[in-house]
């Protein structure tokens, strides 16, 4: 049965009392998938971590416990979700272990190469543009840093039938893996495509060294020269 449109709207942008109730239910519904993403990413004690679309902020608490000497930042565009996440993590925020920032994936208010790990669970359905979002994620990841991206695909017919399509956009898996590659995020072997929701792990490709760039340029010059001769 299709979920009512207003519930889907609050999942995308929670507001008011109904949004508060939905945030409470959501935290319980998504807990096991958040733990799955964190386990697969392998959090190190000193990691700088971003939870993108952190919602209610339950995962921020868990991430801070795993990155005991690191720093955890939650980002969410919903004013209400940011308020709930701050309330929940007040002690960790006062200890400067956790921060919650109101922003969207399209414009993250962080410098380049800021994070070792990014967790993003059940958020991609609401992105305006896959390429823009993944390029912005790649920008704030350190080279070699890892993204754990968990979402349902359009192959999950039960999910497609349950959520209003004008709010939830379920992508094809191939479209997401291709966009990751275009954003210089290499899909990692630990990914789990077999089970819905799928979990993609991707690693930011290190920048090419000057000698690799000149080697590629030399190869391209050689190909062009051989074409000119034949
Ligand atoms: C279904 S909830 C998932 C929350 C949390 N990650 C979890 O697993 O429970 C989706 C969250 O994504 C946030 N969101 C919606 N559009 C977003 C965007 N463009 N950038 C970042 N987050 C967004 C919503 O405010 C909401 O908190």
Residue-wise pLDDT tens digits, 164-183: 999 999 999 999 999 999 99
- The per-residue pLDDT for 229 is 46
DSSP string, 142-186: EEEEEEEEEE--TT-HHHHHHS-TTT--PPPHHHHHHHHHHTTEE
Give yes or no for residue 101 CB within 6 A of ligand 1.
Answer: no
| C-alpha–C-alpha distance, residues 147 and 119, integer Å | 6
Mean pLDDT of 108-124: 98
> Angle of helix 16-41 relative to helix 58-66, nearest 10 degrees?
30
CB burial of residue 110 (10 Å; 0-12, 13-18, 19+): middle
Nearest atom of ligand 1 to the alpha carbon of 120: 6
> Rounded distance, CA 204 to CA 116, Å?
10
Residue 30 CB: number of other CB atoms within 10 A?
Answer: 19
Q: Which of 171, 100, 109 is nearest to 180 (CA)?
A: 171
CA nearest ligand 1 atom 13, residue: 53
Domains of the chain are 5-229 (3.40.50.150)
Ligand 1 neighbourhood includes 78 CB (under 6 angstroms): yes
Q: Is 89 in the pocket of ligand 1 (CB under 6 A)?
A: no
Task: Give the whole-angstrom CA distance, residue 10 versus residue 20.
Answer: 9
Alpha carbon of 181 to ligand 1 centroid (Å): 23
Atom of ligand 1 minimally distant from the CA of 127: 19
- Select from 10, 32, 35, 55 the residue to mutate for testing ligand 1; criterion: most ligand atoms less than 8 Å from CB: 55
Partners of 75 in beta bridges: 52, 101
Is 208 or 149 the better-scoring residue by pLDDT? 149
| pLDDT tens digits, 129-149 | 999 999 999 999 999 999 999
Distances in Å between the Cα of 128 and the Cα atoms of 77, 106, 133, 167 are 13, 8, 8, 11
Ligand 1 lined by 12 (C-beta under 6 Å): yes
pLDDT in tens, 15-71: 899 899 999 999 999 999 999 999 999 999 999 999 999 999 999 999 999 999 999
Q: How much is the pTM?
A: 0.90
Nearest to 80 by CA among 5, 6, 127, 23: 23
């Amino acid at each position: 049965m299709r979920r009512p449109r207003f519930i889907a709207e609050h999942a995308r942008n929670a507001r008011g009392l109904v949004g508060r109730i939905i945030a409470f239910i959501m935290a319980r519904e998504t807990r096991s998938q958040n733990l799955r993403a964190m386990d697969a990413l392998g959090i190190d004690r000193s990691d700088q971590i971003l939870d993108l679309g952190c919602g209610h902020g339950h995962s921020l608490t868990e991430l801070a416990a795993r990155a005991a000497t690191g720093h955890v930042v939650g980002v969410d565009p919903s004013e209400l979700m940011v308020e709930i996440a701050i309330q929940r993590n007040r002690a960790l925020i006062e200890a400067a272990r956790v921060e919650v920032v109101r922003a969207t994936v399209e414009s993250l208010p962080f410098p380049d190469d800021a994070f070792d790990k990014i967790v993003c669970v059940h958020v991609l359905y609401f992105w305006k543009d896959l390429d823009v979002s993944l390029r912005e994620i790649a920008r704030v990841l350190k080279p070699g840093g890892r993204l754990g991206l968990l979402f349902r695909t359009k192959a999950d017919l039960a999910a497609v039938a349950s959520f209003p399509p004008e709010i939830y956009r379920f992508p094809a898996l191939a479209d997401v893996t291709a966009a990751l590659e275009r954003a210089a995020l290499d899909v990692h072997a630990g990914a789990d495509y077999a089970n819905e929701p799928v979990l993609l792990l991707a690693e930011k490709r290190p920048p090419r060294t000057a000698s690799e760039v000149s080697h590629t340029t030399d190869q391209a010059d050689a190909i062009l020269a051989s074409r000119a001769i034949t």
